[in-house]
Structure 1
Amino acid sequence: MATKTVQDLVVPVGVTLDRFIMHSQSAFPYATGELSQLLRDIALAGKIINREINRAGLIDVAGGNGTENVQGEDQQKLDIVANVRFIRALKNGGEVCAILSEEEEDIIHTGNDHGKYVVAMDPLDGSSNIDVNVSIGSIFSIYRRVTPINGPASMEDFLQGGRKQVAAGYILYGSSTMLVYSTGDGVNGFTFDQSLGEFILSHKNIGTPAEGKIYSVNEGHYHSYPPFVQQYVAQCKSRNFSARYIGSLVGDFHRNMLKGGIYLYPSTKKDPKGKLRLLYECYPLAFIAEKSGGKASDGFGSILDIVPQSFHQRSPLYIGSAELVDDVVKG
């Protein structure tokens, strides 16, 4: 029998999220530790939500709750659970002075008025898919507050615009759980190792292919889309693109970022301003898209250049490989 070397017997675990954050801290615009801790707090919330999702069929947290959120949408039980888990993690972490959530109408003040950051989030996007075991996700956006420290946060802290994000990302709960984020210097992905309870660096410096062969859109609303979108979808078919649509924003975006493709969520006759929320869905994913070499548009210009007017403002979204986004925007 061949003798195994130490390298054969002890395979490296990889770089943990904590170690990566520590080594990367010098690249942060404000390298004093608060942003590093905030990212750890978000990762902790992701671990807890991952546990809740994995137990959904066993502890009665799947399905609808019989209530509506501020958007007028039916709340799933896991929407409420994820919202509470994120708020608790961010409050207890102490780095965030205020939170904006899809599930809440107004600012959530954490009581940490000394905190230098605010977070806008969609605690659980696509949660209706949990009943059929389909990928879902959490989306977050981080801003450095502009109001004075040791005072309450206000509307202006959240309405700075997408270019002012200091970090953004998402957590994808699927066949494996992944945390993907950027602080402006590239995009990195970490896969959750259940046995260690740690996020491990698995996708370093993610780059979105400039081109792709995948288009993701709900074709059930085809006849309600603007003519330029109908024309683009027809063009995708004529070019033998593959149609891939999960119905989970994070899942569809993640696949297209890795493989090359475009995700389309146009305006419709019913929702002329679009349906996705600008601050905590479009902005953070647009930030990730641009930092990975992709693009994101509302059909007229970059999503990140839209001037926000309200907390729950909506927008169309065309996001993914740069050349594909350019094609659909040109119409």
Structure 2
Amino acid sequence: MDHAADARQTDLMTITRYVLNEQTKYSESKGDFTILLSHIVLGCKFVCSAVNKAGLAKLIGLAGDTNIQGEEQKKLDVLSNDVFLNALISSGRTAILVSEEGQEAIFVSPPFRGKYCVVFDPLDGSSNIDCGVSIGTIFGIYMLKGSDPKIEDVLQPGKNMLAAGYCMYGSSCMLVLSTGNGVNGFTLDPSLGEFILTHSDIRIPKKGKIYSVNEGNAKNWDVPTSKYVENCKFPKDGSSPKSLRYVGSMVADVHRTLLYGGVFLYPADEKSPNGKLRVLYEVFPMSFLIEQAGGQAFTGKQRALDLVPKKIHERSPIFLGSHDDVEEIKALYAAEESKP
């Protein structure tokens, strides 16, 4: 019997073990970050379970907005928001929470207050759920600046994030995480109920063959975006055209971009002059992950992670992906700006 092979099969790197290993590199670490992350992971498992049952829940005798006990049925995105708020507050490690679902930031009261600020979109792409498209949770983590939480603690540039990640609920449930030291992917093993490291040290290809954009907005695009997409379809250098892939669920589109390379763009246009995606809990976490994997993220004016948001639900254009592809977009914007 090969005991070494047996050991390899059972010596699984779970996400908790991975984060604990990362924490031991810092002598001042008290394990608070591990506790916070374990609560985020629990929220992701709960939402994954709810997403998998969503179609069935609609079919098994739920009448209108109430079930047979007379309890109100919550929409999945509202349920997901409640799950993450409860998980984050009960961790005892958070001070400020900003959710896509809430108009205002939530300041955690002293008995449960910790030193971390978490910004998150509990269920990104939830409008796609009925057609079975991958959707997900996106999150970013900041450290509190002082002892008293202030809104400025979350209105920081994305480069100040300690960690960022997303959990994708698709054909498999995958959590992609960066704590500022590269990007790793963990897949949920349903039989164990654990996220296992399956994609270590993810590096985005330097140049990709895919572009991802909502072409339905083309008539409202600015000149550099129009030129870039035209170049993708009709390259002037004799290379093959890029393939268009657009799911319309940011987590799914960015996940594919991260693994296969290419570029994901949601530019500003005449209809949405500030772009559509929210800075704090969509643009920043995804830009953080892409940069940590060796790519770039650009707003059309500057490096995305240098943005300083003024409001918690502020929006921004975004171009993110392979280094060389984003470099091409930056050159088109620079050329447009230099025109007399």
Alignment TM-score, normalising by the size of structure 2: 0.88
Deviation >6 Å, runs of 4+: none
Per-residue Cα deviation, 1:273-309 (whole angstroms, up to 9, x for no partner): 1110001110111111111101101011100111211
Match of 1:156 among 152, 156, 176: 152
Rounded Cα–Cα distance in structure 1 between residues aligned with 2:27 and 2:171? 34
> 2: distance between equivalents of 1:60 and 1:238?
46
- Cα deviation for residue 227 of structure 1 reads 1.3
* Residue of 99, 109, 112 corresponding to 1:111: 109
Aligned to 1:70: none
Greater displacement, 5-14 / 275-284: 5-14
Deviation at 1:146, TM superposition (A): 1.3
Q: How does 1:184-203 map to 2 (within 5 A)?
A: 184-203=180-199
Give the CA deviation at 1:272. 0.3
Give the structure 2 partner of residue 224 of structure 1. 220
Counterpart Cα distance in 2 of 1:109 and 1:23: 30
Q: What is the alpha-carbon root mean square deviation over aligned residues?
A: 1.9
Alignment match of 1:99 (pick from 55, 75, 97):
97
SS at match of 2:57: coil
- The answer as to whether partners of 1:44 and 1:89 remain within 8 angstroms in 2 is yes
Any idea what the Cα deviations from partners look like across 1:132-182, whole Å, max 9, x if unmatched? Answer: 00001111010001131xx4x221111121121011111111111111111
| Structure 2 CA distance for partners of 1:235 and 1:133, relative to 1, 3 Å | same
Aligned residue in 1 for 2:335: none
Q: Does residue 269 in structure 1 map to residue 309 in structure 2?
A: no
Using the alignment, how far apart are the partners of 1:242 and 1:12 within structure 2?
40
d(CA) in 2 for partners of 1:9, 1:40: 28
Q: 1:301 to 1:196 in 2, by over 3 A?
A: same
Matches within 5 A, 1:52-91: 52-60=50-58, 77-91=75-89
Which amino acid in structure 1 is aligned with residue 243 of structure 2?
S
Match of 1:39 in 2: 37
Shift of 1:127: 0.5
Letter aligned with residue 140 of structure 1? F
Distance 2:10 2:301 in 1: 47
Q: Say if 1:28 and 1:217 are closer, same or farther in 2 by CA, change over 3 A.
A: farther
Q: Which residue of 2 aligns with 1:130?
A: 129
Query: For residue 2 of structure 2, what is the aligned residue in structure 1?
Result: 5
| Matched-pair contact (CA < 8 Å) for 1:118–1:145 | yes
1:17-66 CA distance string (max 9 Å, x none): 111111111345962211111111111100000000000012239xxx99
Question: In the aligned structure 2, how far is the partner of 1:18 from the partner of 1:302?
Answer: 32
Code of the aligned partner of 1:244: R
Say if 2:298 is the partner of 1:297: yes
Mapped to 1, the partners of 2:242 and 2:27 lie a distance apart of 40
Identity %: 44
Aligned residue in 1 for 2:232: 236
Give secondary structure in 2 for the equivalent of 1:56. helix
1:104-157 deviation per Cα after TM superposition (whole angstroms, max 9, x unaligned): 011112324640001011111100111000001111010001131xx4x22111
- The match for 1:19 is 17
Q: Distance in 1 between matches of 2:31 and 2:2?
A: 39
* SS of aligned partner of 2:156: coil
Q: Could you say what secondary structure the match of 1:312 adopts?
A: coil
- Kindly indicate whether the alpha-carbon contact (under 8 Å) linking 1:210 and 1:260 is maintained by their aligned counterparts in 2: yes
Is 1:278–1:313's contact at 8 Å kept on the other side of the alignment?
A: yes
Cα contact 1:135–1:173 (8 A) shared by 2: yes
Q: 1:30 to 1:222 in 2, by over 3 A?
A: farther
How many residues end up aligned between the 2 structures? Answer: 313
* 2:56 alignment partner, SS class: coil
The one-letter amino acid of 1:49's match is V
Of 277-286 and 101-110, more deviation after overlay is shown by 101-110
Which amino acid is 2:327 matched to?
D
Larger Rg: 2
Determine if contact 1:161/1:306 at 8 Å carries over to the other structure. yes
C-alpha spacing 1:190/1:93, structure 2 compared with 1 (3 Å): same
